[in-house]
Amino acid sequence: MPASRLPSPFTYVYKAAPGKQELCIDVYGVNPTVERQPRPVVMFFHTGFLLAGSRDLDLPIWLIVDALKKDYAFISADFRCLPDVGIQVIVTDVKDAGKFVREKLNRTLAHDGIRLRIDPGKLIIAGSGSGIENTVFF
């Protein structure tokens, strides 16, 4: 699957942070309208030296393509950055993103009529740059 043919993601707010900032995840899946068994999921945290970045910049297209070829779902998650917040807040954001994916995402997808389901027991955590550091907080 070429990068130009990636499916559009479904975007969900996983946390409303103080200051009216919404923290979101983007969920990618192949044929999300076709009902199938719950899929493993790759959850990705962006780079940016913990100072900048967002879930939709500098995505590892190769990883998304590979995950979708294996019929996995792919999720890219936001988190707040330094110096606006401290490291403890970043850790909390990462944990809250994971909690949303494990406990609420399937229900949220179903509510929106999307048949894609993830298997929260088969969650692969990934990142690039500072996003790799976030995986240890998960």
pLDDT in tens, the chain (138 residues): 555 678 899 999 999 987 768 999 999 998 777 777 999 999 998 766 566 566 777 788 999 999 999 999 999 998 887 777 888 888 899 999 999 999 999 999 999 999 999 999 999 998 876 655 555 665
Domain residue ranges in the chain? 3-135
User: b/e per residue, 54-69, with b = 16+ CB within 10 A?
Assistant: bbeeebbeebbbebbe
Structure-token pair, residue 2: 């070429």
Q: Please give the CATH superfamily to which domain 3-135 belongs.
A: Alpha/Beta hydrolase fold, catalytic domain (3.40.50.1820)
Structure-token pair, residue 10: 């479904």
pTM over 0.85: yes
Comparing CA positions, the residue from 8, 109, 133 lying closest to residue 68 is 8
pLDDT at 32: 73
pLDDT at 137: 60
